[in-house]
Amino acid sequence: MKAKETFYHERIYPLVFMFAITFFCILITSGLYLTTRNRAVANELSFTRKAILEAANVPYENTAEGIGQAYLENIKVEDGYYIATNSEGDRFIIPVQGPGLWGMITIMAGFEKDLETFSGVAIVSQNETPGLGARIEEPWFTAQFKGKKAPFTLVEEGTSLFDNEVDSITGASRTSEYFRNLANRASQDAKRIIGGGK
Amino acid sequence: MAKNLIRKTFLEPLGKNNPVFVQILGICSTLAVTNKLQNTMVMTLGVMFTAAFSSWTISLLRNHIPSRIRMMVETMVIATFVIIVDVVLKAFYPEMWKQLGPYVGLIITNCIVMGRIEAFALQNKPMLSLIDGLSSGLGYAYVLLIIAFIRELLGTGSLWGYRILGTWWTNWSIMIMPPGGFFVLAIIIWVIRETIMKEAKHA
């Protein structure tokens, strides 16, 4: 009798208890996940659209509605790239993905109609070191590609002069290199994918 | 008597039993999320919420949890509350969620949360545990906010994203980089221990 009770307390009860707790916790979290999923998906879409607008250098109001409106008015989706209609001529935006230091970096790269001059760069996702490599998300870093032409050379932070030079991030040389490679590749891709089709 | 106990439970983590500068817990996030006041605020609210409710939940269950699997149960409960924070942030504050990145998820391993459960919630009544969790979160929050205040102000010349110092100010970039966190935290711990806590140390 006693052995049986110990067996129950030592083996069965903890197992059942853990099972019940896990069940409840999963019930709560998945319920919450499902109820907010639509919102999360909408946010994700809005974020991608914002990156496209940013790369195309199209002005927009920074709200969910503002982004949606500016996107629908200005952006046309093509096979593998986007076109932003503009009074000075069309701009072309392509998504590019490449390795970073820790994971993949995905960016939207925008080009003027010559397919060489960058109209902007925006980051869709990255997993670089917070505080170091992740500083590629800072506006000054992405903004410096605007109006410049690949292939790029990296120089020390705050010293770029010519339109093929970009500042690297102090303390994040490797991430800067990966990002430069990505921007250079974006330029090649633009010529191949968009230019080649003409 | 009961009132005194509540008072004591609430005040201890704010002062002489502070999780950050006395127990030196939760240092990882203290260093990581204190370079912008706004992020720090959200992060500390997340920790307060998680610490308070997981302490409360564990305390409710404390007489039923088999002691050999208690850590698993604790982790499970903490993770649930953290996921709630994460999912809510992702749905309603996506920009903030992107900026905080992995740190919200890392609240699960924040030593303060589990530490308070192990040290307090397992022996005390639910309401008292809730207060203890909440005020441990508060004790963590105000120290982090002080650090973030110093780091953001010196590092970017702004507070809460708004420019405070004029153009004459040269940003101390190191302040918003990881070393800045170490410097400010160390200085704060030193100052508090040498001034306010000096009597307690000798006693």
- The pLDDT of residue A106 is 93
Per CB-CB distance under 8 Å, the chain B contacts of A7 are none
| Nearest chain B alpha carbon to A137 | B99
User: What is the maximum alpha-carbon separation in chain A?
Assistant: 89
A41 touches chain B (CB under 8 A): no
Alpha-carbon torsion angle A66, A67, A73, A77, nearest 10: -170
Read off the tokens for B174: 């190191």
β A165-167/A153-155 pair status: parallel
For residue B180, give the 3-state DSSP assignment. Answer: helix
- The pLDDT of residue A1 is 52
- The pLDDT of residue B200 is 60
Per CB-CB distance under 8 Å, the chain A contacts of B76 are 18, 21-22, 25
Read off the tokens for B45: 């609210």
Name the residue among B21, B33, B43, B42 with its Cα closest to residue B148: B33
| Nearest chain B alpha carbon to A157 | B173
Listed as ranges, residues in chain A with pLDDT below 70 are 1-4, 87, 130-131, 196-198
- The pLDDT of residue A197 is 52
Mean pLDDT in order along chain B per 10 residues (203 residues): 81 83 81 83 92 95 90 94 92 83 81 90 93 92 91 84 79 80 90 78 53
- Give per-residue pLDDT as tens, A77-130: 888 888 888 767 788 899 999 999 988 999 999 998 888 888 989 999 888 876
| Nearest chain A alpha carbon to B88 | A36
The answer to whether A122 touches A50, Cβ cutoff 8 Å, is: yes
Per CB-CB distance under 8 Å, the chain B contacts of A25 are 76-77, 79-80
Q: Contact A39/B91, CB-based, under 8 Å?
A: yes
Omega within 30 of 0 (cis) for the link into B66? no
Q: Which residues contact B74 (CB under 8 A, 6 or more apart)?
A: B54, B58, B114, B117, B118
